[in-house]
C-alpha cells in the first residue's frame, strides 16, 4: 500500500499546548521506517501549515468555538490533501494534532467515495455543537459536524453536504459523554458502544457485526479515527483528556488489527497524543507500538 503521512500540528481544538508536537515526535521515533517494514511505500507529505493565533483571539469569531477560523482554514487544506491522496488510490494517515482535524480528513475522504462509514475509537463522542459544548473546544465537535450537526462553518467545510450518514457511524469505547451529546445520540439514533458493552459482545464479534451492517448499507470505504484516550488513562498520561475504565493495550491492538484485516479501512486519523504531558515517552512509545501493529494488517 502507498501510505501518505500528513501531519497536522494543531492544538487550537483542545486549547491546550502539546498535541502540535506529536507529528514530528513520531517521525523522530522512526514512524516511517516502522511502516516501511510492513512492505508499505511511505510518502511523507509533511505538515499542513497552521497559522499562528494568539490566545487573545480565541473568541474572536465565535464565543463557544474557540479558534474556529484557524481550525476551518487548516481543515479545508487538510480535506483537499486527503481527497487528492484517496483519488490517487493511496492511504492517507493523518497524524494530529487534536481531534478537530477529523472535520477535514472526513470531508476529504467522503468527497472521494459514494457512501463512507466512520469508526470512531474514543473515550468521548465528539458530537457536541457550539450550543451544547461545555468547553467551547472544537475537538469535542468533529464527529457531529461530519454528520451535519452543528454550526454551518463546520458542517459546510470543504463542500456543502453531510459527510457521513449517522447510521454509518460507530463510536467505540465511549465512556465520557456530555448531556447534550446524550440527547443527540437518542435523537439521531447514533451507534455508541461503551467498553463495558463491547466486552460483553466480544471485540471480534462486534467487528463482524459492524461489518455486516455496513455491507447492508452499501458502504464503499471506512474511515478509522483513533483518539489516544480510547485507551485506559493508566496507559496514556500523554493525552489531554484521559478517562479511566478504558481498554488495555492488548485489547486495543486486537480491535485495531481486526478492523484493519477487513480490508475496508481506506484512511486513518491518529490524534490527541500530547508529548508535553507524557511521562518518560510512555505514550509516545505506545503510539508507535500501536501504529506498527495496525499497519502490519493494512494490505
Ligand X SMILES: NC(=[NH2+])NCCC[C@H](N)C(=O)O
Let me know: does 273 contact 96? Beta carbons within 8 Å. yes
Residue 66 is a binding residue for Mn ion (CB under 5 A): no
> Among Mn ion, ligand X, none, what binds residue 275 when CB lies within 5 to 8 Å by partner kind?
none
Tell which positions 38-77 bind ligand X, by CB under 6 A: none
CB of 143 to Mn ion, least distance (A): 8
Tell which positions 164-203 bind ligand X, by CB under 6 A: 178
Residues touching Mn ion, count (CB under 5 A)? 7
Residues whose CB is less than 8 angstroms from the CB of residue 136 and which lie 6 or more positions away in sequence, other chains included: 15, 63, 64, 65, 66, 130
Q: Which is nearer to ligand X, 126 or 278 (CB)?
A: 126
Burial of 186 (0-12, 13-18, 19+ CB in 10 A): exposed
- In the stretch 93-112, what mask flags binding to Mn ion with x, by CB under 5 A? ------x-------------
Residue 232 is a binding residue for Mn ion (CB under 5 A): no
- Would you give the DSSP letter of residue 273? -
CB of 227 to Mn ion, least distance (A): 4
Residue 274 is a binding residue for ligand X (CB under 6 A): no
Query: What span, in angstroms and rounded, lies between the C-alpha atoms of 88 and 235?
Result: 37
**The one segment of 107-115, 137-145, 246-254, 279-287 that binds ligand X by CB under 6 A:** 137-145
Pick the binder of ligand X from 40, 58, 111, 124 (CB under 6 A): 124
Let me know: does 14 contact 227? Beta carbons within 8 Å. no
Pick the binder of Mn ion from 90, 98, 229, 296 (CB under 5 A): 229
Residue 229 is a binding residue for ligand X (CB under 6 A): yes
> Among ligand X, Mn ion, none, what binds residue 128 when CB lies within 5 to 8 Å by partner kind?
ligand X
Q: Which residues of 13-39 are buried (b: 16+ CB within 10 A; e: fewer)?
A: bbbbebbbbbbebbbeeebeebbeebe
Pick the binder of ligand X from 64, 129, 225, 241 (CB under 6 A): 241
Counting runs of H as helices and runs of E as strands, what totals does the chain give? 11, 8
Cell 455508541 sits on residue: 192
Residue 227 is a binding residue for Mn ion (CB under 5 A): yes
Q: Which residues are catalytic?
A: 99, 122, 124, 126, 139, 227, 229, 272
Residue 99 is a binding residue for ligand X (CB under 6 A): yes
Q: What's the grid cell of residue 249?
A: 493495550
Tell which positions 130-159 bind Mn ion, by CB under 5 A: none
- Would you give the DSSP letter of residue 231? B
> Among ligand X, Mn ion, none, what binds residue 278 when CB lies within 5 to 8 Å by partner kind?
none
**For residue 148, what are the CA distances in angstroms to 136, 165, 274?**
18, 9, 28
Binding residue positions: 99, 122, 124, 126, 227, 229
CB of 208 to Mn ion, least distance (A): 25
Residues whose CB is less than 8 angstroms from the CB of residue 119 and which lie 6 or more positions away in sequence, other chains included: 170, 172, 210, 222, 223, 224, 225, 259, 265
Q: What's the grid cell of residue 290?
A: 500501536
Residues at the interface with ligand X (CB under 6 A) = 99, 124, 126, 128, 133-135, 137, 139-140, 178, 227, 229, 241, 272
Amino acid at each position: 500500500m502507498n501510505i501518505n503521512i500528513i501531519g497536522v500540528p494543531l492544538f487550537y481544538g483542545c486549547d491546550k499546548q502539546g498535541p502540535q508536537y506529536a507529528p514530528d515526535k513520531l517521525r523522530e521515533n522512526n514512524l516511517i521506517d516502522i511502516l516501511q517494514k510492513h512492505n508499505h511505500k511511505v510518502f511523507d507529505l509533511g505538515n499542513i501549515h497552521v497559522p499562528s493565533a494568539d490566545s487573545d483571539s480565541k473568541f474572536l469569531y465565535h464565543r463557544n468555538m474557540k479558534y474556529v477560523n484557524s481550525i476551518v482554514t487548516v481543515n479545508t487544506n487538510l480535506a483537499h490533501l486527503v481527497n487528492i491522496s484517496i483519488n490517487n488510490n493511496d492511504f492517507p494517515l493523518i497524524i494530529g494534532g487534536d481531534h478537530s482535524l477529523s472535520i477535514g480528513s472526513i470531508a476529504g475522504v467522503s468527497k472521494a467515495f459514494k457512501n463512507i462509514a466512520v469508526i470512531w475509537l474514543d473515550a468521548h463522542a465528539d458530537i457536541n455543537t457550539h450550543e451544547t459544548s461545555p468547553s467551547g473546544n472544537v475537538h469535542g465537535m468533529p464527529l457531529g459536524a461530519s454528520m451535519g450537526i452543528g454550526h454551518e462553518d463546520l458542517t459546510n467545510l470543504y463542500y456543502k453536504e453531510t459527510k457521513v450518514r449517522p447510521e454509518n457511524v460507530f463510536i467505540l469505547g465511549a465512556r465520557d459523554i456530555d448531556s447534550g451529546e446524550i440527547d443527540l445520540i437518542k435523537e439521531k439514533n447514533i451507534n455508541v458502544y461503551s467498553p463495558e458493552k463491547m466486552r460483553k459482545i466480544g471485540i471480534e464479534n462486534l467487528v463482524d457485526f459492524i461489518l455486516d451492517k455496513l455491507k447492508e448499507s452499501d458502504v464503499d470505504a471506512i474511515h478509522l479515527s483513533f483518539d489516544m484516550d480510547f485507551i485506559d488513562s493508566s496507559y496514556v498520561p500523554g493525552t489531554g483528556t484521559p478517562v479511566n475504565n478504558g481498554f488495555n493495550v492488548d485489547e486495543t491492538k486486537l480491535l485495531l488489527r481486526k478492523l484493519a484485516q477487513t480490508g475496508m479501512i481506506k484512511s486513518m486519523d491518529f490524534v490527541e497524543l500530547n508529548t508535553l504531558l507524557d511521562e518518560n515517552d510512555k505514550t509516545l512509545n505506545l503510539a508507535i507500538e500501536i501504529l506498527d501493529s495496525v499497519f502490519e494488517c493494512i494490505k
